[in-house]
Amino acid sequence: MSYPKFEVIEQPAGRLRLITDEQCWLEFKPVWASPLSHPGKYLALLDGKDKEILIVNEPDELDEGTRKLLISELERRVLTAQITEIIEAQTEFGVTYWLTETSRGRKEFVTQSLQENALWLAPHQLLLIDVNGNRFEIPDTQALDPESQKKLFATV
């Protein structure tokens, strides 16, 4: 463990506090340092000025209470949806219309210029960025059902 001992509590409701042996932060936020290539690892805590307070390489090692609070706060902060099924992917005039089932429910979105907005992060990991900058991740394209894969690979 290369970070100082710390605890996160919720007080008052909705507001997290970070307490170390030396200081108590009333304003801080958890962020993933490398959310796409190292999901679930390297959890950084930043102060109100976005400066690193500490970084936890293995968040699973944290005590249950702190970990739960941090993970639920991160879930609130990261709104990237994971695509679980591609219902429709239709390209017309350089625009692709997607109808997908995601981890956050059914979502319709539009992508343009897929050469820029379909980013292969790993051989089977794809990030689609829609025209408004919203991100949709496919963590493993091979895990999609065959029909979804067919639609995906006919498009990107």
Partner 1 sequence: MALAAAEKEKSPEKILLSLTADLTESAEFGERLLEITQKSVRVCLPDGMPVQVIDLEDVASAKSESLVSGGRILATLKTGEQIPVVSYTLTHAEVFSDAAHIIDEMAKGESPFIALEQKVSRCPKCERLLPEDTTVCPRCVSRSKAMLRIAKYLVPYKKQALRLASIALVSTLMTLLPGLIMKQIIEAYENSLGESELFKWMGIWAGILFTMVVLKVLNDRLMVFLAANISADLKNATYRAIEFLRLSYFDRKPVGAIASRVSMDTDRIWHFLVDGLPFLFNNALILIGVIVILMVQNWFLAVCIIMPFPFIILISMKVWRPISNLFHRASQKVARVHMQLHESLSGIRVVKAFAREDHEYKKFIQRNTDFRDASLYADQRWITAHGTMNLVIQSGTIVTWTVGGLMLYRNQISMGEFILFNAYLGLAYGPLHWFAQINNWFSRAMAGAERIFEIMDMPREIVEGEGEQHTVQGSVEFEKVRFGYDKSNPILKEVNFKAEAGQMIGLVGHSGAGKSTTINLICRFYEPNAGRILIDGKDIQDLSLQDFRSQIGIVLQEPFLFHGTIAENIRYGRPDASIEEIMRAARAANAHDFILAKPEGYDTMVGERGVRLSGGEKQRISIARAILHDPQILIFDEATSSVDVETEKQIQEAIQRLVKGRTTFAIAHRLSTLRSADRLIVLDRGKIIEEGSHEELMAKKGDFYKLVQTQSQVNEIIGIA
Q: Which residues bind partner 1 (CB under 8 A)?
A: 12-15, 35, 49, 75-81, 90-95, 97, 102, 104-110, 112-116, 118, 130-135, 154-156
The distance of closest approach from Cβ of residue 136 to partner 1 in the complex, given in angstroms and rounded to an integer, is 8
Nearer to partner 1, 7 or 130 (CB): 130
Contacts 24+ apart (CB under 8 A), 100-106: 100/136, 102/136, 104/79
The number of C-alpha atoms within 13 Å of 8 and in the hemisphere containing its C-beta is 24
Cβ burial 19-28 (10 Å sphere, 16+ → b, else e): eeeeeebeeb
Task: Name the pairing type of β-strands 81-92 and 135-138.
Answer: parallel
Minimum distance between the CB of residue 48 and partner 1, rounded to whole angstroms? 9
Cβ proximity to partner 1, 63 vs 80, nearer residue: 80
105 or 146: CB nearest partner 1: 105
In eight-state DSSP terms, residue 145 is: -
Is the CB of 18 or the CB of 81 nearer to partner 1? 81
Taking the complex as a whole, the smallest distance from the CB of residue 112 to partner 1 amounts, in Å, to 6
Specify the residue, 60 or 93, whose C-beta has the smaller distance to partner 1: 93
Least CB distance from residue 155 to partner 1, whole Å? Answer: 6
| Least CB distance to partner 1 at residue 132 (A) | 4
| CA-wise closest residue to 152 among 87, 106, 102 | 87
Do residues 142 and 149 touch, judged by C-beta distance below 8 A? yes
